[in-house]
Structure 1
Amino acid sequence: MSVKTLRKIPLEKFVDLKVDYAFKQFFGTEQNKNITKVFLNALLNRTGHHAINEISFMSQEFSGEYVDDKQSRLDILVKTQENIFINVEIQLTNKYDMIKRTLYYWSRIYTSQLQRGMGYHNLRPTITINICNYSLFNQTDKYHSIFQLHDTQEKFKMDDVLEIHFIDMHKFIQQWYAKKLNSCEDILAKWLMLLGMVDGRKNKVYEEIYLELEELAMKDEELFNAFNVWQDLSQSPEDYYAYHSRLKFILDEAAKLEDTKYIAEKEGLEKGLERGLKQGIEQGLVQGIEQGIEQGIEQGLEQGLEQGLKQGIKQGEKKMQKEIALKLLQRNNDIETIAELTELTVSEIQELKELLG
């Protein structure tokens, strides 16, 4: 009789499954379809004859609403055996547009079902799941919020066509550490522990979560298999490089967002100083201008050095990027995704694809 053992890799090698590239490789591929079904059933609380037994992965792209719009690219889009569409989105950084963006994507998926000549009665329910590494709703302490169409007074449901879930990973981690969760009985909690164990932005692994996950995996076959898939993903050289490229891009975008906030705050300060000048606070204005100049010079130098360093790294990595692109092409990743991950142009990747025949 074989003994069940869990293979181990160093904790610092685990990829953060909240980074969209890793999330898609883990939950959005045919070979991991069973993992996706178990996760969706846990999150949507589907059991018995209501359980999701089969899914098919759908196209993740929608054309822009206007001519100049970029393609809208979803993280994961599946259709169940009941023809219900489920879109799963993962977000590390708060861009302050999640709710509007969610409603927009939901509407695009819902209306995409209606083909010419079809009646409205053919429209099937559409479910959107958002997993966020930040808090959206201060009105609740719950980490899982569900929204549907209800009458505001008597609370009866108008229809089941709309169902939107928000998972707040920040609140989940807080509640796990506060020992408010029963991970032995709560199936969703087990899967969210997988997502919460690594924080790629902080370069941190929560060892306490790992130890509990390890214990749970020895008793749960599905979690055990998922854990090994996670380790395989973390050890793949191509995936590890693509993951870190994507994480770097996310961190750069987050830094730009912080810069934008800083500029907005600085502009607000300047306007306040201008009003103060008109009121006679001349000295305060002079000090504010001097500080702004110093900060601007310092920030400009830092950004200039950083930009020069980035250019140097890009030149040195060109050969490696092409090698990674070739491997990703052999694994049938699409050209747009490879371009985003490797920073090669679409034409460069197309030339590499032609070399493969």
Structure 2
Amino acid sequence: MTVRLKPLNDVIFKKLFGEEDSLDFLEGFLTALLGFEVTDLLIESEKLSIENINDKQGILDIKATMSQTNEKINIEVQLSNQHNMIERTLFYWSKLYTENFKKGEDYTTLTKTIAINILNFDMLPINNFHSKYQLFESQEKTLLTELLEIHFIEYPKFKKYTADLNNNLHRWLLFLQEDVPAKTLEEVIEMDKTIAKAESKLKRLSADEETKRMYDLREKFLSDTKTQINGEKREIAKKLLKKYKAMSISDVAEMTDLPIDQIERLEREVRP
């Protein structure tokens, strides 16, 4: 039996939503997320290969343009918290916003640019799993411009919700969830023809040897990156425990974003 590959693995997500034969999947997902009918998308295709799947230049992001308005969209999946997501988002948003803008051109030709970030970790100090940010005046709360729009989906928060299968965004997020119960996935597929087609493509991708090879390499890269980050966090925790004898375990855990049990083990090493 073919194992269902993780839809949020960057390689799989790119193949599911970033290829021409997946246009209706992308339009369906964006319609659910943005709250208005998204049609006539043009996808910026970048062919994935073994050589470029670990590239840091956003090749695994999905870039699309609404052909009628020239509004631009960038979608990024980020599975591990590298504590730079806000800065990273603004960087890639600004690059896309000014892309193809030539010196001497009229600034009014710049078009709305939307950044969408799907995160497998909690980041923002709010309860909602879906947040939207725009530029507002700090006191009057008036909107400066609609040209900038940034969305975050935080999966750990979504998993705490009781999913509503009548909500199309909930259905898409359940489809993308690695550990979605089989019965729930069946219900989602029965309710939504577009998601049913997306699941069929996911099954084909899961059985394709070249795709699986890229998937495994990406998983290894992500695992190695996470291991490196956690190693750096443990070193910081050790230094804090050594230098500040009065610092509590809970404070060290909060500062390093490591579990309490790991800090307790480190404390036994450095505070005998």
Say if 2:241 and 2:267, in contact at 8 Å, map to a contact too.
no
In structure 1, what is the Cα distance between the partners aligned to 2:43 and 2:267? 56
Corresponding position of 2:22:
32
What are the within-5 Å matches in structure 2 for residues 1-357 of structure 1?
13-46=3-36, 51-58=37-44, 72-74=57-59, 75-81=61-67, 82-138=69-125, 140-175=126-161, 179=162, 181-183=163-165, 185-196=166-177, 198=178, 205-207=179-181, 210-272=182-244, 291=269
Aligned counterparts of 1:219 and 1:166: Cα–Cα separation in 2: 25
- CA distance in structure 1 between the aligned counterparts of 2:41 and 2:268, rounded to whole angstroms: 61
Secondary structure at the residue paired with 1:189?
A: helix
Report the alpha carbon displacement of residue 19 of structure 1 after superposing the two structures with TM: 1.1
Q: Tell me, which stretches of 5 or more residues in structure 1 are unaligned? A: 1-8, 61-69, 199-204, 274-287, 295-357
Amino acid at match of 2:244: G
Per-residue displacement from partner, 1:242-282 (whole Å, max 9, x unpaired)?
11211111011101100000111122233336xxxxxxxxx
Where 1:218 maps in the other structure, the secondary structure is: helix
Q: Kindly tell me: are residues 114 and 141 of structure 1, through their superposed partners in 2, closer, same or farther at Cα, counting changes over 3 Å?
A: same
- Number of equivalent positions: 242
Distance 1:291 1:172, change over 3 A: closer
Using the aligned pairs only, state the percent identity.
Answer: 32
Aligned residues of 2:115 and 2:151 also touching (Cα < 8 A): yes
Distance 1:289 1:19, change over 3 A: closer
Aligned-partner SS, 2:244: helix
Asked whether the equivalents of residues 113 and 123 of structure 1 are also in contact (C-alpha less than 8 Å), the reply is no
Pairwise CA distance, 1:290: 10
Matching residue's letter, 2:230: E
Residues 269 and 154 (structure 1), Cα distance of their counterparts in 2 relative to 1, 3 Å cut: same
The structural deviation recorded for 1:289 is 11
CA 1:269 to 1:220, structure 2 compared with 1: closer, same or farther past 3 Å? Answer: closer
- Deviations 1:179-206 (Å, cap 9, x if unpaired)? 2x321x210110000111x1xxxxxx34
Choose between structure 1 and 2 for higher RCO, CA contacts under 8 A separated by at least 6 residues.
2
So what's the TM-score if we normalise by structure 1?
0.63
Separation (CA, whole Å) in 2 of partners of 1:289 and 1:137: 29
Deviation string, structure 1 residues 38-68 (Cα, Å, up to 9, x no partner): 111111111xxxx2211222276xxxxxxxx
Q: Per-residue deviation at 1:237?
A: 1.5
Q: What amino acid maps onto 2:19 in structure 1? A: T
Alpha-carbon distance between aligned partners in 1 of 2:184 and 2:29, rounded to the nearest angstrom: 18
Q: CA deviation at 1:241?
A: 2.0
Deviations 1:298-333 (A, max 9, x none): xxxxxxxxxxxxxxxxxxxxxxxxxxxxxxxxxxxx
Match of 1:202 in 2: none
CA RMSD of aligned residues (A): 2.3
**Map of 2:261 onto structure 1:** none
SS at match of 1:163: strand
Letter in 2 for 1:15: L
Structure 1 residues 291, 152: CA separation in 2 closer, same or farther (over 3 Å shift)? Answer: closer
Q: Is the 8 A contact 1:84 1:126 kept in 2?
A: yes
| Residues 152-181 of structure 1, C-alpha deviations (whole Å, 9 max, x = no match) | 223221110100000011111111xxx2x3
After the TM superposition, which parts of structure 1 deviate over 6 Å for at least 4 consecutive aligned residues?
none
- SS of the aligned residue for 1:86 comes to strand
